[in-house]
């Protein structure tokens, strides 16, 4: 087992980990050589209150037929092994794709739920073909509904309850946060950025004194048609962040030109973006989702990137898929504005 697979297995929640263990036991009991996707989903169907079972019921999928199909497919696998079975090449792909889904959205932070395994199976093209091999009923899951109404379709599962408890223990509002995700709002922006203008409206930003010329200059640059992404440079501690806070205060008070009224400034948290992003593609996926949500937002959003030099090389090899290069196309097309 390579380190990447070990990392992924460590991110499975209780239901998914139990299913992986049970899948291996099923494989051993049948004398088969590899633990495959069908074994895992058979094991999940044995848990009556997991995401997969609850979602299947909500989507009117026949659980008995699905189980019969999977057992029939598993019975076709080669037998005769007297050794401990290994994971098939498909399972690391399933776990990795599920982790990318889990890291941006639904439920218990940093854990792969069985619902994420189902979404990964249905959305990754190679895995979707394997799903059809296991049972035609996988094609009957309403994929778009499952993606956009995940929390509603899995409500009441033991995994949803665990996710709500985890959010509550971290000081969040489990009902509010899960409903926000179910309504398809802005999970990436909510998770990886802080709205500076909203904090200013709530009185959480102190007044900024002595930075009026710099704030006016930033406003002038932001109002340009092109080359409208101001860069603040200077020694540490001279007050670069204070300029942005002063701008946020002015926007909150309406003391800006008409074009900038209603604009929101979001501070991008590079630490959160990189935290736990140990799986290849996870960091890039997070940043792309932030950019997409900024582009699709009904109101204008300006991203404030503090210590922007740290973006070069972040998330990948410099010059390849690092954060700076992911931002360039959106900046060039004027779809993204930054400070």
- Please write the tens of the pLDDT for every residue from 232-278: 888 877 888 888 888 898 888 888 887 787 888 898 877 777 765 55
pLDDT band at 1; cut points 50, 70, 90: very low
187-338 folds as: Rossmann fold (3.40.50)
Of 111, 143, 145, 106, nearest to 124 (Cα)? 143
Whole-number pLDDT of residue 321: 55
CATH 3.40.50.300 segments of the chain: 187-338
Is residue 179 predicted with pLDDT exceeding 60? no
> Could you tell me the pTM of the whole model?
0.59
CATH 1.10.1780.10 segments of the chain: 3-182
Whole-number pLDDT of residue 312: 61
Q: Considering the chain, what is the average pLDDT of its residues?
A: 81
Q: Which CATH architecture has domain 3-182?
A: Orthogonal Bundle (1.10)
Dist. CA 168–CA 320, nearest whole Å: 38
């Amino acid at each position: 087992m390579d380190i990447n697979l070990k990392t992924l297995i460590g991110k499975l929640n209780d239901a998914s980990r139990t299913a992986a263990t049970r899948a291996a036991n099923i494989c051993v009991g049948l004398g088969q050589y590899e633990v495959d996707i069908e074994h895992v989903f058979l094991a999940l169907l044995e848990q009556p209150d997991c995401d997969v079972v609850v979602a299947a019921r909500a989507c009117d999928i026949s659980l008995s037929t699905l189980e019969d199909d999977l057992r029939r497919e598993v019975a076709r696998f080669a037998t005769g092994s007297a050794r401990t079975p290994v994971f098939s090449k498909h399972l690391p792909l399933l776990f990795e794709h599920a982790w990318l889904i889990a890291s941006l959205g639904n439920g218990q932070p940093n854990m792969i739920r069985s619902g994420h395994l189902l979404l990964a199976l249905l959305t990754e093209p190679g895995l979707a073909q394997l799903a059809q091999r296991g049972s035609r009923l996988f094609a009957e899951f309403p994929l778009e509904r499952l993606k956009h109404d995940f929390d509603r379709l899995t409500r009441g599962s033991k995994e949803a309850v665990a996710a709500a408890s985890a959010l509550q223990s971290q000081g969040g509002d489990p009902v509010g946060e899960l409903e926000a995700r179910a309504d398809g709002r802005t999970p990436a922006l909510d998770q990886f950025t802080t709205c500076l203008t909203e904090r200013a409206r709530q009185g959480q930003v102190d007044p900024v004194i002595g930075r009026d010329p710099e704030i006016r200059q930033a406003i002038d640059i932001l109002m340009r048609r092109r080359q409208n992404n101001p860069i603040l440079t200077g020694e540490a501690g001279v007050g670069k962040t204070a300029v942005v806070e002063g701008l946020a205060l002015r926007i909150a008070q309406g003391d800006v030109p008409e074009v900038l009224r209603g604009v929101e400034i979001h501070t991008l948290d590079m630490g959160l973006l990189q935290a736990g992003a140990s799986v290849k593609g996870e960091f890039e996926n997070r940043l792309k989702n932030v950019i997409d949500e900024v582009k699709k937002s009904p109101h204008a959003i300006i991203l404030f990137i503090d210590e922007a030099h740290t973006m070069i090389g972040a998330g990948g090899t410099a010059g390849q898929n690092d954060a700076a290069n992911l931002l360039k196309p959106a900046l060039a097309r004027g779809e993204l504005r930054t400070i």
